[in-house]
Amino acid sequence: MAQESSQTVPESIRMVLIGPPGAGKGTQAPNLVERFKVCHLATGDMLRSQVAQKTALGLEAKKIMDQGGLVSDDIMVNMIKNELTTNPACKNGFILDGFPRTIPQAEKLDQMLAERGTPLQKAVELQVDDELLVSRITGRLVHPASGRSYHKIFNPPKKEMTDDVTGEPLVQRSDDNADALKKRLAAYHQQTEPIVDFYKKTGIWAGVDASQPPQTVCTSILKCLGQA
């Protein structure tokens, strides 16, 4: 009987979510976390958390960021390693979101995970046309404290510009405008898309049409993971 249930929900899932800004990574990751009881390692949140906690890595990263520099791949990989080691939620696995963004990062990540005996099982790419992303992103609203996101057209809050749960005001991020997005998309195509080929070669890549409704996208991701 136990064997049957372990086939329904895997004991662990170790995956990376790849996709351009606005593809829905922030929408899909919480669904997967809920289903698999794993940790969601969104690199921006992780970086902010380590800086706030004043960990050795956080202090090092803050010094670099204060000087306008980019945090090194080694620091990011060590932060992920630190989370995997110390965060109880990572016991059943993890969903990486926002990292790796380049092939050298993917290689360093693979090496660290191999040393821990927890290699990636899946790299799922959320695929959406740039034109659709522009309309998605420019209508995005965020509740800063929780990270909950809404959309003026596709997923509006019950009360205009107000978080459904707390009643606090929603904001539009300063970089959620068409010009900023086009720059972010250009950087994504140039730097991050090559990692799709990297994961195709290792045989763990799967692509999902992320222009569909969120529930359909979620079902497609579960199919990639052998769960639907």
- The CATH number of the domain holding residue 159 is 3.40.50.300
CA distance 18 to 198: 12
Which residues participate in catalysis according to the annotation?
Answer: 25, 101, 140, 173, 184
Position 213 in a domain: yes
Residue 135 covered by a domain: yes
Two structure tokens written together for 157: 């809050």
Q: Is residue 3 part of a domain?
A: no
pLDDT for 84 equals 94
In the predicted structure, residue 195 carries a pLDDT above the cut 80 = yes
User: Averaged over 39-63, what is the pLDDT?
Assistant: 90
Question: Taking residues 134-154, what's their average pLDDT?
Answer: 83
147 annotated ligand-binding residue:
no
Range of the domain at 130: 14-225
Average pLDDT over residues 150-176: 89
Looking at the predicted structure, is the pLDDT value of residue 202 above 50? yes
Domain annotation covers residue 77: yes
Is 149 one of the annotated binding-site residues?
Answer: yes
Establish whether 25 is an annotated binding residue: yes
Residue 212 is assigned to a ligand binding site: yes
CA distance 168 to 157: 11
Q: Is residue 1 part of a domain?
A: no
Average pLDDT over residues 53-61: 91
- Is 1 a residue whose pLDDT tops 50? no
Query: Is 106 contained in some domain?
Result: yes
Lowest-pLDDT range of 19-23, 89-93, 107-111, 207-211: 19-23
Q: What is the pLDDT of residue 11?
A: 62
How many domains are there within the chain?
A: 1
214: cis peptide before it, omega within 30°?
A: no
pLDDT (0 to 100) of residue 10 = 54
In a domain, 36, yes or no: yes
Does residue 59 lie within any of the structural domains?
Answer: yes
